[in-house]
Amino acid sequence: MSIMGEVELRNRRAVPLRSLPREPVDHFRGSVVEAVTGGLRIVSLFGLPEEGEMTRLVAILADDARGELGATTTLVRDRYPSLTPDCPQAHAFEREIAEQCAVSPVGHPWLKPLRRHLPDHRAERRSNVVLDPQAYPFFRIEGEDVHEVAVGPVHAGIIEPGHFRIQAHGEDVLFLEIVLGYQHRGVERLLETVDAVRAPLIAESIAGDTVIGHGGAYCGAIEALARSRKSPRAQSIRGIALELERLANHIGDLGAIAGDVAYQPAAAFFGRMRGECLNLLMTLSGNRFGRGLVRPGGVAFDLPPAMADAMRAKLEALREELEPVAGLMFQTASVQARLEDVGVVSREQCDALGLVGPVVRARDIARDVRQDHPYGIFRFAHIPVSTAWAGDVHARALVRWLEIRRSLEFVLDQLAALPRGEERVSVRALQPGELVIAMEEGWRGEIAHIVITDERGAIRRHKVTDPSFHNWAAVAAALPGNQISDFPLCNKSFNLSYAGHDL
Amino acid sequence: MFDLLRARLRQGTPTSPFPGNDAEFPERFRGLPVVDSPAPMHPEPSDAAPSALMTVTLDGHPALDVGACLFSPDEATSGTAGTVRFTHDYRMASSTRAGLVSATGEVELAHALEARVRRLFGRSLRLRSVVAGSCGGCEAELIALGNVVFDLARFGVQFVASPRHADGIVITGAVNHNMRAALEKVYDAMPAPRIVIAVGACAISGGPFRGSPEVAGGVPPGLAVDLYVPGCPPHPLTLLDGLLRLLDRLPAERTRATPFTL
């Protein structure tokens, strides 16, 4: 396969940009489609403005089984043949390219605005707009007794904004269309223009519940471009923080799922225990979400032995409290009945849509960046991948519970034997003309930051792909066939980020 | 059934004793920023430091804008306003935008709503949340206010599903273009009198996204804000303290001497 092997691309290893394949557009399309048909997965697909009117399309693919990454590129002006008809994984990426770069994927079956903004990554000498941000044609089903339900962008609770358009026949959902972009803040452009001190603060604000995940991927990219090696101690502290973030969110999700089926005891107990994990992050970093901890070169705060002992004691107490509450939730028949066979994602959908994180692990696909493309502490300390098989709300809840147990053990192990080293080393200038792919297994799944430097070592392109970008398609795919009243439960079982998608 | 009761007993009463007694935060907690030393004679303007983000000019002198603070350790540096240090003080909600700006980092804490509005809302305040260009962090802390530890409902404050049912609006996010119209519609749908609460650095000043062409940089001037709650995101107790000040529900003194730990 031409995509793999010519340059050795791996997670967090920077390579010269010019070493990537440069193919004519038809070959580019063929390579990507062939690779995905052969079992590879699109990590990201984006446009890089070049000189004049030209835009370079860059495709990053992952071979999870072999722990390798591949890439190919092509140069286009205003249009290119869309990949989506042969490769549904490209669907949202191509809408993003059309919107950001004003390059048209000809033959795209669903070419609509993605976030509804004017192009902000357009080649210098182009002034076109491919997608009018004001024009959004909705899909409609016509027919007797078919009705439409519109929800959002302002929701009934404290929820990020998004618009859901449901075509229903009675209570049965026929089709769900999800319109996002309401949280669009121009994150990529900011990351490409602000100075190196402000940038980590923006990376931490891509998704406020994934501060460590995005902070870690951002720093991983910068460290690779600067050839900076952080100490084993810093790697371990980052790993602890990442797993605490996973613990907090997974525990909170179990509580929210319990709340959505009106099982109040588990909702209340899990809700409190989520807070305990956030408070541990606050002990470590001074902020309940871990803001300020992960910085290029390591971590801004050490984890001294007395703090490690105190955290261990709290986590051991938490473990004792979690087990009986999880027992309540997973052994109460009336709860089980509400979770099983609801919002099923099929294995074919996982593969076709290139889904990531607990969503695919709940369908027996052991995909996990920590295992497949190990980095940092996860090269030395392995967390077994947790899977379930049914792909429904119950399986997604179960995978979270299994991951809670394993993350807890990992954090306890790390706290017991923190390696030595400086918490933070200085970071040199970035190498010019390079590309790096930094992936991190956030609690929602694969986070990818792809950073490209210019000939002076300044950041030229910063592409962010949040796991929600891949997985929103799964929500739309899982709902048809369910009842409208199960929409909140279904949505909660994915708990995707609007901010992470919208950037 | 017995397992359920056993779990319930084991959980005990987790509700925090706030505001009856005060909270003690972990050592590294970053609360209200203060300026330790006056600005040097020849301040070196360092635009690179994020503390420049929260440095503004007040009466011709550099000052600290707590409403623009991101509460990041990187901001605890020497900037044009002096040396910035974070304290453990979680109280920093103000009734005015100007109340968040001072030479020393002092904040003019929020005062109670005027008597007529307080009579209406003092014991029952219904709020509507509108998220407009945020990261989701402030919303997570607003949701946490409803958990058993902070238990906002015991003060008669509730988040409701429709602006028609609401006495006030809680705005989070930097107010981006794509939510501007929805925000205005929600505000217009609320019956008067209505209050506006701006939560987090984004809603007050644009936060980390300040300068992006996609955002307005906070609540637009057309909406009169009654309470500004700084933070990135604000700690739930910062939110609770601000709301209780607004409703004049904070006890004059703490009833219990020992602070509870978080």
Contact B215 A186 (CB under 8 A): yes
Q: Which residue of A has its CA nearest to B162?
A: A156
Q: Tens of pLDDT along B238-248?
A: 999 999 999 98
Q: Which residue of B has its CA nearest to A156?
A: B161
Reported as a pLDDT band with limits 50, 70 and 90, residue B47 is very low
**DSSP labels, A381-427:** SPPPPP--SS-SHHHHHHHHHHHHHHHHHHHHHHHHTPPPS-SB---
Is A387 within 8 Å of A362 (Cβ atoms)? yes
Contact A272 B14 (CB under 8 A): yes
Within 10 angstroms of residue A78's Cβ, the number of other Cβ atoms is 16
- Give the one of A117, A197, A499 whose C-beta lies nearest to B74's C-beta: A197
Sign, CA torsion A99/A100/A103/A108: negative
- From first CA to last CA, the distance across chain B in angstroms is 31
Q: When comparing pLDDT for B144 and B122, which is higher?
A: B144
Reported as a pLDDT band with limits 50, 70 and 90, residue B251 is confident
Residues of chain A with pLDDT under 50: 1
Strand partners, A57: A47, A74
Query: Residues near A103 by Cβ (< 8 Å), separated by ≥ 6?
Result: A47, A55, A57, A76, A77, A78, A79, A80, A97, A130
Reported as a pLDDT band with limits 50, 70 and 90, residue B80 is low
Q: Which pLDDT score is estimated for A202?
A: 96
Q: Which pLDDT score is estimated for B60?
A: 73
Q: Which residue has the tokens 């601000």?
A: B242
Contact B7 A156 (CB under 8 A): no
Within 10 angstroms of residue B154's Cβ, the number of other Cβ atoms is 8
Is B231 within 8 Å of B105 (Cβ atoms)? no
Residues on chain A touching B214 (C-beta within 8 angstroms): 117, 184-186
A167, burial (CB in 10 Å: exposed 0-12, middle 13-18, buried 19+): buried
Fold of A1-135: Beta Polymerase; domain 2 (3.30.460)
Within 10 angstroms of residue B128's Cβ, the number of other Cβ atoms is 25
Reported as a pLDDT band with limits 50, 70 and 90, residue B51 is low
User: Would you list the domain boundaries of chain A?
Assistant: 1-135, 138-182+474-503, 184-228+427-466
Query: Which residues 185-244 on chain A approach chain B with CB closer than 8 angstroms?
Result: 185-187, 189-190, 194-198, 200-202, 204-209, 211
Contact B71 A498 (CB under 8 A): no
Question: What DSSP element (H or E) covers A323?
Answer: helix A305-331
Of residues A462, A437, A450, A453, the one with CA closest to residue A17: A453
Query: Which residues 96-125 on chain B approach chain A with CB closer than 8 angstroms?
Result: none
Query: CA-CA distances (angstroms) from residue A307 to A324, A415, B71?
Result: 27, 9, 22
Of residues B168, B165, B138, B147, the one with CA closest to residue B243: B168
Q: When comparing pLDDT for B43 and A364, which is higher?
A: A364
DSSP assignment letter at A18: G
Contact B133 A190 (CB under 8 A): no
Interatomic CA distance for residues A101 and A114, integer angstroms: 13
**DSSP labels, A431-459:** PTTEEEEEEEEETTEEEEEEEEE-TTS-E
Chain centroid to CA B175: 16
Residues on chain A touching B8 (C-beta within 8 angstroms): 265
Query: CA-CA distances (angstroms) from residue A477 to A455, A474, B2?
Result: 43, 5, 40
DSSP 3-state assignment of A496?
coil
Pick the residue of B89, B178, B186 with the most A CBs within 10 A to test the interface with A by mutation.
Answer: B178
Q: Which residue has the tokens 């987090």?
A: B200
Q: Does B242 touch chain A (CB under 8 A)?
A: no
pTM of the model: 0.94
Chains A–B, number of C-beta pairs less than 8 Å apart: 195
Give the gap in angstroms from C-alpha B259 to the nearest C-alpha of chain A: 16
Is B113 within 8 Å of B93 (Cβ atoms)? no
**Region of poorest pLDDT, from A61-70, A96-105, B13-22, B83-92:** B13-22
A264-285 vs A232-260: helix crossing angle, rounded to 10: 160
Q: Which residue has the tokens 């907090």?
A: A248
Contact A268 B235 (CB under 8 A): no
Residues on chain B touching A275 (C-beta within 8 angstroms): 144, 147, 149
Interatomic CA distance for residues A139 and B225, integer angstroms: 39
Contact A205 B209 (CB under 8 A): yes
Interatomic CA distance for residues A113 and B194, integer angstroms: 35
User: Tokens standing for A104?
Assistant: 């048209």
Contact A272 B148 (CB under 8 A): yes
Residues on chain A touching B126 (C-beta within 8 angstroms): none
Of residues A113, A115, A105, A111, the one with CA closest to residue A188: A115
Percentage of chain B modeled with pLDDT above 70: 89
Is A154 within 8 Å of A498 (Cβ atoms)? no
- Give the one of B50, B129, B140 whose C-beta lies nearest to A209's C-beta: B140
Q: Which pLDDT score is estimated for A333?
A: 93
Residues on chain B touching A274 (C-beta within 8 angstroms): 147
Contact B133 A184 (CB under 8 A): yes
- Give the one of A157, A205, A295 whose C-beta lies nearest to B135's C-beta: A205
Reported as a pLDDT band with limits 50, 70 and 90, residue B81 is low
Pick the residue of B127, B135, B176 with the most A CBs within 10 A to test the interface with A by mutation.
Answer: B135
Question: What is the pLDDT averaged over residues B126-148?
Answer: 94
Q: Does A288 touch chain B (CB under 8 A)?
A: yes
Q: Which residue of B has its CA nearest to A134?
A: B178
- From first CA to last CA, the distance across chain A in angstroms is 33
A456, burial (CB in 10 Å: exposed 0-12, middle 13-18, buried 19+): exposed
Q: Which pLDDT score is estimated for B40?
A: 52
Confirm or reject CATH 3.40.190.180 for domain B115-246, answering yes or no.
no
- Give the one of A185, A211, A291 whose C-beta lies nearest to B209's C-beta: A185
Reported as a pLDDT band with limits 50, 70 and 90, residue B8 is confident
β-strands A172-179, B78-79 pairing: unpaired
Q: Which residue of A has its CA nearest to B149?
A: A272
Q: Which pLDDT score is estimated for A312?
A: 96
Say how many residues make up chain B.
Answer: 262
Q: Which pLDDT score is estimated for B52?
A: 57
Q: Does B52 touch chain A (CB under 8 A)?
A: no
Question: What is the pLDDT averaged over residues B86-107?
Answer: 91
DSSP 3-state assignment of A213?
helix
β-strands B195-199, B227-229 pairing: parallel
E strands present in B59-194? 61-65, 78-79, 82-86, 101-102, 125-131, 157-159, 168-172
Query: CA-CA distances (angstroms) from residue B143 to A187, A327, A490?
Result: 25, 25, 19
Contact B139 A185 (CB under 8 A): no
Q: Which pLDDT score is estimated for B45?
A: 47
Interatomic CA distance for residues B16 and B7, integer angstroms: 19
Is residue B133 scored above 80 in pLDDT?
Answer: yes
Give the gap in angstroms from C-alpha A152 to the nearest C-alpha of chain B: 9
DSSP 3-state assignment of A83?
coil
β-strands A15-16, A434-442 pairing: antiparallel
Query: Which residues 317-346 on chain A approach chain B with CB closer than 8 angstroms?
Result: 321, 324-325, 327-328, 331
